[in-house]
Amino acid sequence: MIIVMGTVRVPVENIEPIKPMMAKVIAATLKEDGCIQYAYGQDVLDPELIHIAEKWRDMAALKAHFQAEHMKVWAQERATLGLFDRKIRVFETDEGAEV
């Protein structure tokens, strides 16, 4: 299993404009083969901070995701909104255990 975790910052004036774009890319990505989870969430204490959480079946599915047409559109859209301080990491792991 592949886990992608991270954060990115969005200028506060662009938070509302980016939300429909994020919703569109989330909906499209969740339909991809191998996508188990794909989510963005605005931080409660820091409104510029967006948390990213993804689960993929394997690295091949994640690599295919990067080539998907909706990801190319998303890259163009987000480039206009001043995203910064992108910190995203990829981890290989097992299924984990319930806490």
Question: The domain spanning residue 42 has which CATH number?
Answer: 3.30.70.100
Residue 98 domain-assigned (yes or no): no
Q: What is the mean pLDDT of residues 26-46?
A: 98
Q: What is the mean pLDDT of residues 16-39?
A: 97
What is the total count of domains within the chain? 1
Residue 97 domain-assigned (yes or no): no
pTM: 0.92
Residue 48 domain-assigned (yes or no): yes
Predicted confidence band of residue 50 (pLDDT cuts 50, 70, 90): very high
Residue 99 domain-assigned (yes or no): no
Residue 29 domain-assigned (yes or no): yes
pLDDT of residue 35: 99
Residue 39 domain-assigned (yes or no): yes
Q: What is the mean pLDDT of residues 35-47?
A: 98
Give the structural domain span for 39.
Answer: 2-92
Enumerate residues 6+ apart whose C-beta is below 8 A from 91. 2, 3, 4, 5
Residue 56 domain-assigned (yes or no): yes
Q: What mean pLDDT, rounded, does the chain reach?
A: 97
Type of residue numbered 38: Y
